[in-house]
């Protein structure tokens, strides 16, 4: 699997990592426990079977619009076999256009293979993962998580500054947009 991800500015990244630590302190599933060096706050735009150097070149040109605004707004939960607690990303017009461009680039490149349908522009729910696990979050931790992060609780503005490609086979990343 290959992903195309946006990376936040350092202040926003630090705020997300603070929330990861607070979740851990509350005994809840947290990305803070994921110790791989590639683990950092990000927004996944698309996932495909392959990402050739030619396609990465096309993406590099499309991602030249960075930096763009970033807006985080409260919590969102995803249920299923693995439950996810995430910080919701408010998708403004600039982000939506960039996402659709990336999606179409991968979709229109046969060498990209299959794309994850959850990232289709009609279904995509932009978010930054805070914690994943099989255990449900029994109460709403929003007040505990965002007490020092932003006001009002859970609202934060920043910038998407860069993009990267993650390869799940080699567990490595490469920057593709600055």
pLDDT in tens, 114-138: 999 999 999 999 999 999 887 655 4
Residue 34 or 122, more confident: 122
Give me the number of domains the chain comprises: 1
**Beta partners for residue 3, in sequence order:** 47, 166
Answer yes or no: pTM beyond 0.85. Answer: yes
Task: Reply yes or no: is the peptide bond before residue 152 cis, omega within 30 of 0.
Answer: yes
Q: Which residues constitute the domain of residue 156?
A: 2-177
Residue 145 near residue 86, CB atoms below 8 Å: no
Q: Which two tokens stand for residue 82?
A: 């693995």
Output Rg (C-alpha) for the chain, integer angstroms.
Answer: 16
Task: Tell me the CATH number at 31.
Answer: 3.90.1140.10
Q: Which tokens belong to 70?
A: 């970033």
Q: Which of 26-35, 39-48, 69-78, 130-139 shows the highest mean pLDDT? A: 39-48
């Amino acid at each position: 699997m290959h992903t195309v991800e946006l990376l936040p500015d350092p202040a926003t990244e630090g705020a997300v990592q603070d929330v990861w630590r607070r979740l851990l302190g509350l005994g809840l599933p947290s990305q803070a426990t994921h110790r791989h060096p590639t683990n950092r706050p990000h927004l996944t735009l698309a996932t495909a079977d392959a990402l050739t150097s030619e396609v990465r070149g096309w993406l590099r040109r499309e991602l030249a619009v960075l930096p763009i605004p970033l807006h985080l707004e409260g919590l969102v939960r995803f249920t299923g076999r693995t439950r996810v607690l995430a910080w919701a990303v408010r998708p403004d017009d600039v982000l939506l256009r960039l996402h659709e461009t990336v999606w179409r680039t991968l979709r229109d490149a046969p060498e990209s293979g299959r794309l994850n349908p959850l990232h289709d522009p009609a279904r995509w729910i932009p978010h930054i993962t805070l914690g994943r696990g099989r255990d449900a979050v029994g109460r709403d931790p929003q007040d505990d998580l965002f007490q020092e992060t932003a006001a009002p609780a859970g609202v934060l503005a920043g910038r998407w500054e860069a993009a990267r490609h993650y390869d799940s086979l080699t567990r490595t990343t490469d920057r593709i947009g600055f």
